[in-house]
Structure 1
């Protein structure tokens, strides 16, 4: 048998979620579901399940750097996604690596887990602002992360533009302000994608499903997968929003707490479509 053609290659630089719902596990599932080849640089190991994070251990900077160089120098990448980076030292090291890589970068500025557990040291916030966000093609903060990074509190759709402007000042080309945590949304999950001149309001039904572990990782990875396939940013983010909306709708119970979204929802629908 002859070798097949390799699909687009996407690299996640993130922490491991032992429960399989978020982190590199969610990233790789998303990348596979969207027709790309996922690769990983593990930045931290967590003991994590549906109830929360019981422990987290960042990897040494040299281990993260070696993983990255090993993949990028031999296999190459068409897009990179970052997630949990844990410390200022890791943020700085990853920013240096990204600045020398010619591929779009999706930065998910992970600060806390779904359960409220801290995944980024307070001392690393300035490095995220000054080192990581400037190399981002797309940054995807949720409302808690917006407040953490900029001090802007988003309490209604009218605050989205102000939040986006504050994030864009740090240097990313595009930002997605994710409104999934916004109260009083009249049944919609609303996100704003903007580069400061173009605006794209993305709306989707809000499903009454508490099993949403991994949504942020999944959205960022889906954006990266679509960028790797050559889509422009607005099309990539729109397609990623559709994918994560379906994954949330199909989220399932696992363990005694918050279950994960279903990364394979489009592959396992009973109608076969």
Structure 2
């Protein structure tokens, strides 16, 4: 069984974060391991507080997992502080022989890396709570982005990234999620560092249960990469997975606010 590591925050209500990641990874037939970066107080009504995990604890979690388990892919979610971002980048470079970012500006991301990394740059919760400090954004971009096979910002996150001095979108593989756009379609745009672009469009399903969709998408893509699918195939599988999870979860009725999506085993439609 292939192992996927998720590095993200904890959601005690189970709808997003580590909890959603692990359910998604395991429903796609992989084994999920986790490193917790933040302890959040949240439920379907919103995020009340965020407490970053101390950097030495983040480092020791990473070292414990990576020294023992044969991890095939990594999903990175909530990174609450610059210090946590630096520790993650430093540890991954040491483990997987990843080079410093200034050496990677002219090569396709992950071309020389020994593992696939999918990063969901979670910045603001649906309820408006900041999940990543402003100083962390610069470190994530400079130290973690160059290590990634794929980065999955939504439209507001992409606007924030584009406003940063020194951010060059064409250096990275980006999946720009279209959930915030108006219209009847959910159109996500895959923009590869080699200049290739592809649109993944599905119907927009009206639902009040959308908690954790970004977590599920990035985790499904990471799991698919671990299973040996190409990047474009993995994005297609991730998109199909989340669409079906939203469809099945629209009447789920968990909590009194923005409820979670539904992700049992066998949810992914046949892609063969």
Match of 1:126 in 2: 138
- 1:43-192 counterparts in 2 under 5 A? 43-100=37-94, 101=96, 102-151=114-163, 168-169=169-170, 171-172=171-172, 174-183=173-182, 185=183, 187-192=184-189
Question: How far did 1:42 drift?
Answer: 0.5
Q: How has the CA–CA distance of structure 1 residues 212 and 167 changed in structure 2, closer, same or farther, with 3 Å as cutoff? A: farther
Aligned partners of 2:28 and 2:266 also within 8 Å: no
Match of 1:202 in 2: 200
TM-score by length of 2: 0.86
3-state SS of paired residue (1:84): coil
Superposed CA RMSD = 1.7
Question: How far did 1:249 drift?
Answer: 1.1
Say yes or no: does 1:217 pair with 2:209. no
Question: How far did 1:250 drift?
Answer: 1.6
3-state SS of paired residue (2:67): helix
Find the aligned partners of 2:58 and 2:79 in 1 and give their Cα distance.
10
3-state SS of paired residue (2:71): coil
Find the aligned partners of 2:75 and 2:26 in 1 and give their Cα distance.
14
Match of 1:247 in 2: 245
Which residue of the other structure, out of 229, 232, 241, is the alignment partner of 1:231? 229
Q: Structure 1: state its 5+ residue gaps.
A: 1-6, 153-165
Find the aligned partners of 1:77 and 1:265 in 2 and give their Cα distance.
21
Question: How far did 1:194 drift?
Answer: 1.9
Question: How far did 1:267 drift?
Answer: 4.9
* Cα deviation code 1:177-221 (max 9, x no counterpart): 1001111x2x11000112142211101110011210001100000
Question: How far did 1:222 drift?
Answer: 0.3
* Cα deviation code 1:233-262 (max 9, x no counterpart): 000001110000001112222221110011
3-state SS of paired residue (2:23): helix
Aligned partners of 1:141 and 1:178 also within 8 Å: yes
Question: How far did 1:132 drift?
Answer: 1.3
Question: How far did 1:168 drift?
Answer: 2.6
Question: How far did 1:265 drift?
Answer: 6.8
Match of 1:158 in 2: none
Corresponding pairs, count: 246
Aligned partners of 2:79 and 2:85 also within 8 Å: yes
Find the aligned partners of 2:34 and 2:141 in 1 and give their Cα distance.
23
Find the aligned partners of 2:225 and 2:197 in 1 and give their Cα distance.
18
Find the aligned partners of 2:268 and 2:159 in 1 and give their Cα distance.
37
TM-score by length of 1: 0.86
Q: Structure 2: state its 5+ residue gaps.
A: 97-113
